[in-house]
Structure 1
Amino acid sequence: MTKKDNIYANPQQQVKDFVFDDSVVDVFSDMIERSVPGYQTIISTIGHLAQSYVTDNSNIYDLGASLGAASLSIRRNVKSSNNTLYAIDYSQPMAEKCKKHLLSYKSSVATEVQCADALKVDITNASMVVLNFTLQFIAAELRSQLIENIYQGLKPGGILVLSEKLTFPDDKIHQTLNELHLDFKRAHGYSELEISQKRTAIENVMKPDSLKTHYNRLKQAGFKQYNQWYQCFNFCSIIAIKD
């Protein structure tokens, strides 16, 4: 049974920076469903993309795998043979629970769950790489390096799926979409106190970019084919394909 996220339900004298610790891992499934509009659409589509883009004798990387939702979707849909999926997460509690989730589902896709820094992962012979709401938690000055590492490790024809929260250059648009997102959270049971305290906890930890910044970063890394395939309010997902 999914545990309800009530981490910020009571007033906190000092709201600490958000971390993916045991308390977050314990309620993460509920937290992300009630916080990210369209999350299940993105997860299911990652599986469909895996079916189309993962090739025989290649590797798959889920960087920032959290509890393994994207990895599980991939494992359920891959039709090719002799693949290895690497599910990577920087949080030890998250990686441990991810491993339990993935091992509960039998698949022909060999899977390794690692607690590691995405920037230090040696990406090789990859037909698919997933960054599902991961890049925004990496220091801004290191993001280009990670995208470049992914590009270099992808095989020709390989795909990167990049899902992120967005900022917008127009203040009115930014405020409107942000308010729609807050309404989404209210509709899913979060109180004003929870919303406020979560915002305080995460504002120094998660630093979103604009769509233009993402596109510029992908282009700089070498991608020529990239486009947003999904957006709901201020959340989006992009695909980039290596020539």
Structure 2
Amino acid sequence: MPKPSQEDAIYARQHPHLVDFEFNESVVNVFPDMIRRSVPGYSTLVPLIGLLAEEFAQPHSRCYDLGCSLGAATLAMRHRIQQAGVEIIAVDTSAAMIERAHDNIDADIDTTPVELICADIHHIEISNASVVVL
């Protein structure tokens, strides 16, 4: 079962020791709020990714979501793809993001196969692709 999102207050107070930003568990917990506030049009863009995948995904091909975070675009594609034999490959460098994306994918009732990979996209071989989202 996916965990509920929390309000992003990570930088609402001063931090005595500033460290490099990383997509860790603290960020994962507030990511839906963070992305909604920092990417204009995100809530419009994600469903459009699903529509594009529906239009361009080819039977027995792969659709890639590079930088999948919690899997919003992955799920949008998964819900719209009608072609047989399509597999979705979702990649992110953050283990915490992949773990939460896994929870979100597992809670979804769609049956299009999704492979979640924790890796740098530079090390991912893209093959048999009909859709690639970055």
Q: TM-score, normalised by structure 1?
A: 0.53
Pairwise CA RMSD of aligned residues? Answer: 0.9
Q: How far off is 1:2 after superposition?
A: 2.2
Indicate the residue corresponding to 1:119 in structure 2.
122
SS where residue 60 of structure 1 aligns?
strand
SS where residue 109 of structure 1 aligns?
coil
Q: Does 1:51 align with 2:54?
A: yes
Residues 137-156 of structure 1 aligned to structure 2 (within 5 Å): none
SS where residue 103 of structure 1 aligns?
helix
Q: How far off is 1:11 after superposition?
A: 1.1
Give 5+ residue unaligned stretches, structure 1.
Answer: 132-243
Q: Distance in 1 between matches of 2:110 and 2:58?
A: 16
Q: How far off is 1:125 after superposition?
A: 0.3
Residue identity in the other structure for 1:101: N
Q: Distance in 2 between matches of 1:116 and 1:8?
A: 27
Q: How far off is 1:119 after superposition?
A: 0.7
Q: TM-score, normalised by structure 2?
A: 0.94
Indicate the residue corresponding to 1:25 in structure 2.
28
Q: Distance in 1 between matches of 2:111 and 2:58?
A: 14
Q: How far off is 1:102 after superposition?
A: 1.1
Percent identity reads 41
In proportion to residue count, which structure has more strand?
1
Select 2:90's aligned residue among 87, 90, 105: 87
Specify the structure having the higher radius of gyration (Cα): 1
Q: Distance in 1 between matches of 2:128 and 2:56?
A: 13
Indicate the residue corresponding to 1:74 in structure 2.
77
Q: Distance in 2 between matches of 1:115 and 1:102?
A: 15
In proportion to residue count, which structure has more helix?
1
Give 5+ residue unaligned stretches, structure 2.
Answer: none
Q: Distance in 2 between matches of 1:26 and 1:39?
A: 18
Indicate the residue corresponding to 2:39 in structure 1.
36
Q: How far off is 1:15 after superposition?
A: 2.4
Residues 6-25 of structure 1 aligned to structure 2 (within 5 Å): 6-25=9-28
